[in-house]
């Protein structure tokens, strides 16, 4: 009897030890999760801001025009976008300075002024397109854009000017969750998953105008100059240091993968419905409209909500990135936690871009395609300059110390910069001279 009691007590102690170990493991996992959530922000916000109204229209066109055949391109794009974003985030954590700050210090005032002027013009044009996206999305739900656009502009302005960095970041992260609607929308569209898998692993390329234009547009839409400016400045404002940078690196890569995953589902949903039916689209709103009879009203609603959330996110991030860069280049105070008295240039630039973007977006018969073409050409010219500036800075030991790129990472980074540069130049050529590839 005594022996049985001792055995029971021993078994009880073993269970208690296992239980205590399980509790400690659970607590440790929760601590790691909380630590990641605490650092979450710059990478996730920046990558998803790239999926703006113009991006959604581009990706929807890819699915509608070419089905699943360009899905393979998302694999190299994920690597390229992650590398570029990670280098800028690392520079922010190590130097405590924004990209425009470092460009001014290392390359001089003239180069900085030229880059900032081009960035201001390009971002102003793209900001207009974001408010046009808000107008298109709101009209899908029966709201007049003459009401929705000014209200959206006021909401974005109030959030930035009257909020702290933490509040702004939380709202932007919540907006990112709207992109989950595209995942549901894709499954509602009932795609051919075997064809999807083939499109992911079998590269296809055609020397045709429409194919090359779309191919290059996907690259240009995914990696934009303002994204590099924003991620570095937001890392600086968040106060990330080299000691806790590992979590920010994780944030950058998770944000990149999540953003490209959304692109994947946008292409899949439009390929499964619009390409199958031979329907062509010219905007993200067209894609949402076209999805309704083919995939049901819920798919259209989710697509429209995604368009609205994406446009709202980019309408905040784009002017912010521009305000950061202008303030850094001129050496003025900056930050969303600052007041107008403390940072007049920063908040003034942001206010100007939001106001102009919203006002132009409600102009009747706006030649939006012309505006977008001009701004995309400027972005195409600006992107190589920014990428090579980033590579020179991130490999400068006076700037980065021991945090410069390693040999393998550097090869990948230079290949990314060279390929993106060539594709950007190709985009400019086929935009300005479409007859080269037989397009009339």
With respect to residue 26, please indicate whether it lies within any of the assigned structural domains.
no
Q: Tens-digit pLDDT profile for the chain (440 aa)?
A: 556 555 556 655 665 666 555 545 544 454 444 444 444 566 566 666 666 777 777 888 888 888 898 999 999 889 888 998 899 999 999 998 888 888 888 888 888 888 788 778 778 878 888 888 888 888 777 788 889 899 989 988 888 887 766 676 677 767 667 777 778 878 888 888 999 999 999 888 877 777 777 777 787 777 877 788 888 888 888 888 888 888 888 888 988 888 888 889 889 988 888 887 777 776 667 777 666 666 667 777 777 777 788 788 788 878 888 888 888 887 888 877 787 888 888 888 889 999 988 998 888 876 655 565 566 667 767 778 888 888 999 999 998 889 998 888 889 889 888 887 887 777 777 777 777 666 55
Using DSSP, state whether 70 is helix, strand or coil: coil
Using DSSP, state whether 338 is helix, strand or coil: coil
For the chain, the domain total comes to 1
With respect to residue 19, please indicate whether it lies within any of the assigned structural domains.
no
Rounded Cα distance between 181 and 200, Å, is: 22
With respect to residue 376, please indicate whether it lies within any of the assigned structural domains.
yes
Domain that holds residue 198: 40-437
With respect to residue 313, please indicate whether it lies within any of the assigned structural domains.
yes
Nearest to 157, CA basis, from 357, 350, 345, 337: 350
Contact 390, 232 (CB under 8 A): no
How far is C-alpha 236 from the geometric centre of its chain's CA atoms?
18
Nearest to 387, CA basis, from 44, 88, 54, 112: 88
CATH number of the structural domain spanning residue 269: 1.20.1740.10
With respect to residue 32, please indicate whether it lies within any of the assigned structural domains.
no
What pTM value is reported for the model?
Answer: 0.78
């Amino acid at each position: 009897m005594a022996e049985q009691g001792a055995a029971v007590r021993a078994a009880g102690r073993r269970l208690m030890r296992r239980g205590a170990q399980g509790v400690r493991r659970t607590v440790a996992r929760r601590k790691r999760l909380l630590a990641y959530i605490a650092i979450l922000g710059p990478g996730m916000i920046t990558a998803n801001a790239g999926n703006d109204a113009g991006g959604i229209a581009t990706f929807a066109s890819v699915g509608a025009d070419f089905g699943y055949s360009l899905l393979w391109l998302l694999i190299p794009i994920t690597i390229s976008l992650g590398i570029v974003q990670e280098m800028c985030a690392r520079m922010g954590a190590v130097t405590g300075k924004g990209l425009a700050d470092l460009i001014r210090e290392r390359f001089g005032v003239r180069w900085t002024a030229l880059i900032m002027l081009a960035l201001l013009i390009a971002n102003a044009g793209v900001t207009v397109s974001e408010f046009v996206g808000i107008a298109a999305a709101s009209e899908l739900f029966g709201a007049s854009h003459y009401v929705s656009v000014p209200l959206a502009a006021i909401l974005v302005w109030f959030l930035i000017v009257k909020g702290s960095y933490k509040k702004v970041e939380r709202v932007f992260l919540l907006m990112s969750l709207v992109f989950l609607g595209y995942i549901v929308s894709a499954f509602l569209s009932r795609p051919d998953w075997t064809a999807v898998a083939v499109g992911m692993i079998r590269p296809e390329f055609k020397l045709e105008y429409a194919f090359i234009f779309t191919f290059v547009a996907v690259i240009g839409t995914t990696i934009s100059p303002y994204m590099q400016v924003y991620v570095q400045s937001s890392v600086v404002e968040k106060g990330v240091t080299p000691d806790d940078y590992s979590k920010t690196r994780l944030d950058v890569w998770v944000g990149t993968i999540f953003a490209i995953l959304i692109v994947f589902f946008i292409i899949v949903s439009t390929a499964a419905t619009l390409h199958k039916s031979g329907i062509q689209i010219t905007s993200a709103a067209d894609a949402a409209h076209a999805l309704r009879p083919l995939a049901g009203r819920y798919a259209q609603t989710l697509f429209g909500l995604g368009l609205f959330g994406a446009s709202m996110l980019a309408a905040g991030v784009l002017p912010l990135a521009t305000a950061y860069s202008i303030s850094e280049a001129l050496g003025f105070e900056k930050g969303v936690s600052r007041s107008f008295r403390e940072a007049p240039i920063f908040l003034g630039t942001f206010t100007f871009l939001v106001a102009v973007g919203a006002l132009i977006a409600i102009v009747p018969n706006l030649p939006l395609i012309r505006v977008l073409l001009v701004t995309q050409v400027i972005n195409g010219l600006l992107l190589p300059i920014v990428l090579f500036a980033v590579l020179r800075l991130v490999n400068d030991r006076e700037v980065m110390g021991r945090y410069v790129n390693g040999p393998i990472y550097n090869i990948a980074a230079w290949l990314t910069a060279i390929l993106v540069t060539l594709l950007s130049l190709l985009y400019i050529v086929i935009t300005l001279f479409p007859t080269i590839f037989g397009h009339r």
